[in-house]
């Protein structure tokens, strides 16, 4: 049985390190809302990031706390989205 851990959206954002990632792109410069916490089901894949330049998801406190297994949430979608694609 999978472990059920829940975080509120504010907690995702508070712990988020996406902006420090080499792949991160500030979408607000392209007219979009600033994006963060791509691993969250409410956010998921970025609307403007299109090139992988390295990934720091493994060092993310959210990923560790939630025991996520996937990476590159900004390009591949949230943990749930990636898990659904694998099924």
DSSP 8-63: -HHHHHHH--GGGSTT---GGGGTSPP---TTSTTT-S-SS--------GGG-HHH
Residue 82: Cβ within 10 Å count = 19
pTM attached to this predicted model? 0.84
pLDDT digits (tens, 9 = 90+) for 3-38: 445 678 788 889 999 999 999 999 888 888 889 999
pLDDT exceeds cutoff 80 at 82? yes
Structure confidence at residue 5 (pLDDT): 58
pLDDT digits (tens, 9 = 90+) for 56-69: 999 999 999 999 99
Which of 24-53 are b and which e, b meaning 16 or more Cβ less than 10 Å from the residue's Cβ? bbebeeeeeeebbbbbbeebbbbeebeeee
Q: Do residues 56 and 21 touch, judged by C-beta distance below 8 A?
A: yes
């Amino acid at each position: 049985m999978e472990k059920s851990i829940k975080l509120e959206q504010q907690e995702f954002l508070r712990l988020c390190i996406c902006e420090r990632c080499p792949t991160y792109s500030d979408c607000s410069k392209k007219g979009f809302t600033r994006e963060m916490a791509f691993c969250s089901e409410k956010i998921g894949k970025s609307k403007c990031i299109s090139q992988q330049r390295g990934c720091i998801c493994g060092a993310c406190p959210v990923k560790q706390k939630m025991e996520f297994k996937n990476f590159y949430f900004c390009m591949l979608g949230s943990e749930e989205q990636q898990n659904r694609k694998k099924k």
